[in-house]
């Protein structure tokens, strides 16, 4: 028995049971450690959920400002500021109805989440997510097209806007802004290099055939057949054919009519100066509202029917504008700069050459607007383009034929409708006629040239989905 007991005491089972007997009724250290670990995990997860909730509110505020094109930052974002900006105002509003966000803003010492750095990082993250989404849709799409144009930012730095156009998985046409590309200069080599670099990341090797179109404006740098951007891109992506917007053609026609005629270019610059004069001061605008009772639209060369509304407004309210500038110049509560600029604008409206060009373009602009509205339609074809182009050129030809009578009308009519007194002419009658005829000829020649290529509109009807039922009954062999 003694030997058996000694052997049993040395057995593993006996020793395990002895340890368990000694620990009976006591808390295990391992269990205590395990429970503390679980509590730490739970607290960590609660903290993560709370931080995600706070961050989601901050992201919602950024998205709200972006959706409505509101500036995120204010001029003074300090705690004592009465107007810290829209973003911080939204955060304060949400904190008033969200207790967790309110506590966070009051107690946060390491990460508050409202700094400019965090805003920029959130915007970068949003852009990254959107780019990944766009690239995934492009990857699933069979074909894509690109649209690009040059622009300048608020610091006047040159940059390229890149837009992708494709059909998504739901057969919907999507046009997605992809990014701004910084450019050291705006020559063809620089723009083409930047575009090709981005396209290499959007379309990996072996997918060059997916790019079937490229659309730019009509500048020689972009559309050049030998050294332009479109040629350089097509050398790499053979199916990327160049497409030009028809409505944009009209803007180029009007620009060509003014770019090489110094007096016309100066005239449109002066017309744009009227709205600029009033936009600089609410006191000037108050006089404009009182005397003219009509605001002046800003003239912008980026609009297809540029300057049209500005020309018509100045022509129709010319007498009232002269009176308005006279009032500003004579009133004692305006500063010397306002009086000096008002006097210059008044003399401009009384200038014989300015009044003649104003009357000329007042006759031309309605036909430009009419052509512009027709070009916005989606169902245009070659016959339609030929018809509206012919009507437009006939209208401009009629204005050209009426130039002598227009010169005679402006010769004796003063800008303030004074009694007909013949004044010393700053520009002879023959010179005025020559200038008006040159403008009309330039518009007509460019219209005929730029709208002469219409055959591709015929073949485009083969790709219009709403015409497929007709094609199944009678296929348009001639279009093919």
pLDDT tens-place string over residues 89-118: 999 999 999 999 999 988 888 888 888 888
Per-residue confidence (pLDDT) for residue 19, from 0 to 100: 86
Per-residue confidence (pLDDT) for residue 218, from 0 to 100: 66
Q: Is the pLDDT of residue 195 over 70?
A: yes
Rounded to the nearest integer, the mean pLDDT of the chain is 84
Per-residue confidence (pLDDT) for residue 173, from 0 to 100: 85
- pLDDT tens for each residue of 361-407: 999 988 888 887 887 776 666 778 778 888 999 999 999 998 887 77
Domain extent listing, the chain: 33-114, 129-244, 250-271+295-310+348-461
SS (H, E, C) the chain: CHHHHHHHHCCHHHHHHHHHHHHCCCCCHHHHHHHHHHHHHHHHHHHHHHHHHHHHHHHHHHHHHHHCCCCCCCCCCCCCCCCCCHHHHHHHHHHHHCHHHHHHHHHCCCCCCCCHHHHHHHHHHHHHHHHHHHHHHHHHCCCEEEEEEEEECCCCCEEEEEEEEEECCCCCEEEEEEEEEECCCCCHHHHHHHHHHHHHHHCCCCCHHHEEEEECCCCHHHHCCCCCHHHHHHHHCCCCEEECCHHHHHHHHHHHHHHCCHHHHHHHHHHHHHHHHHHCCHHHHHHHHHHCCCCCCCCCCCCCCCCHHHHHHHHHCHHHHHHHHHHHHHCCCCCHHHHHHHHHHHHHHHCHHHHHHHHHHHHHHHHHHHHHHHHCCCCCCHHHHHHHHHHHHHHHHHHHHCHHHHHHHHHHCCCCCCCCCCCCCCCCHHHHHHHHHHHHHHHHHHHHHHCCCCHHHHHHHHHCHHHHHHHHHCCCCCCC
Residues of the chain with pLDDT > 70, as a percent, come to 87
- pLDDT tens for each residue of 233-289: 999 999 999 887 665 666 666 766 666 788 888 888 888 888 888 887 888 888 888
- pLDDT tens for each residue of 300-344: 555 545 577 888 889 999 999 999 999 999 888 888 898 899 999
């Amino acid at each position: 028995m003694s030997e058996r007991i000694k052997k049993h005491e040395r057995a593993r089972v006996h020793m395990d049971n002895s340890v368990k007997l000694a620990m009976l009724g006591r808390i295990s250290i391992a269990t205590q450690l395990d429970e503390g670990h679980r509590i730490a995990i739970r607290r960590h997860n609660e903290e993560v959920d709370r931080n995600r909730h706070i961050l989601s509110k901050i992201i919602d505020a950024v998205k709200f400002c972006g959706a409505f094109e509101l500036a995120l930052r204010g001029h003074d974002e300090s705690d004592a500021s009465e107007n810290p900006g829209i973003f911080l105002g939204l955060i304060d509003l949400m904190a008033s109805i969200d207790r967790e966000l309110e506590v966070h803003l009051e107690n946060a010492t390491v990460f508050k989440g409202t700094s400019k750095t965090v805003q920029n990082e959130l915007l970068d993250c949003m852009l990254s997510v959107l780019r990944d989404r766009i690239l995934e849709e492009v990857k699933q799409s069979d074909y894509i097209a690109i649209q690009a144009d040059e622009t300048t930012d608020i610091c006047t730095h040159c940059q390229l806007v890149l837009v992708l156009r494709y059909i998504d998985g739901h057969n919907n046409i999507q046009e997605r802004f992809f990014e701004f590309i910084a450019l050291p200069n705006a020559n063809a080599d620089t723009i083409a290099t930047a575009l090709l670099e981005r396209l290499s990341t959007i379309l990996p090797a072996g997918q060059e055939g997916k790019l079937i179109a490229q659309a730019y404006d009509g500048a020689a740098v972009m559309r050049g057949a030998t050294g332009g951007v479109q040629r350089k891109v097509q050398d790499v992506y053979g199916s990327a054919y160049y497409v030009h917007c028809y409505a944009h053609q009209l803007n180029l026609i009007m620009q060509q009519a003014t770019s090489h005629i110094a007096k016309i270019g100066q005239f449109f610059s002066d017309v744009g100066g009227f709205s600029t004069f009033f936009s600089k001061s609410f006191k000037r605008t108050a006089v404009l509202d009182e005397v003219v009772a009509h605001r002046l639209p800003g003239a912008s060369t980026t609009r297809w029917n540029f300057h049209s509304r500005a020309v018509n407004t100045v022509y129709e309210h010319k007498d009232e504008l002269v009176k308005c500038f006279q009032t500003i110049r004579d009133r004692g509560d305006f500063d010397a700069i306002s009086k000096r600029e008002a006097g210059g604008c008044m003399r401009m409206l009384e200038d014989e050459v300015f009044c003649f060009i104003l009357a000329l373009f007042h006759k031309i602009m309605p036909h430009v607007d009419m052509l512009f509205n027709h070009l916005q339609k989606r169902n245009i074809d070659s016959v339609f383009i030929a018809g509206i182009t012919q009507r437009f050129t006939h209208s401009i030809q009629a204005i050209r034929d009426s130039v002598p009578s227009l010169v005679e009308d402006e010769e004796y009519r003063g800008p303030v409708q004074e009694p007909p007194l013949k004044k010393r002419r700053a520009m002879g009658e023959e010179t005025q006629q020559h200038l008006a005829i040159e403008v009309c000829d330039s518009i007509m020649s460019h219209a005929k040239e730029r709208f002469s290529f219409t055959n591709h509109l015929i073949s485009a009807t083969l790709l219009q989905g709403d015409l497929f039922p007709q094609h199944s009954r009678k296929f348009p062999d001639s279009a093919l």
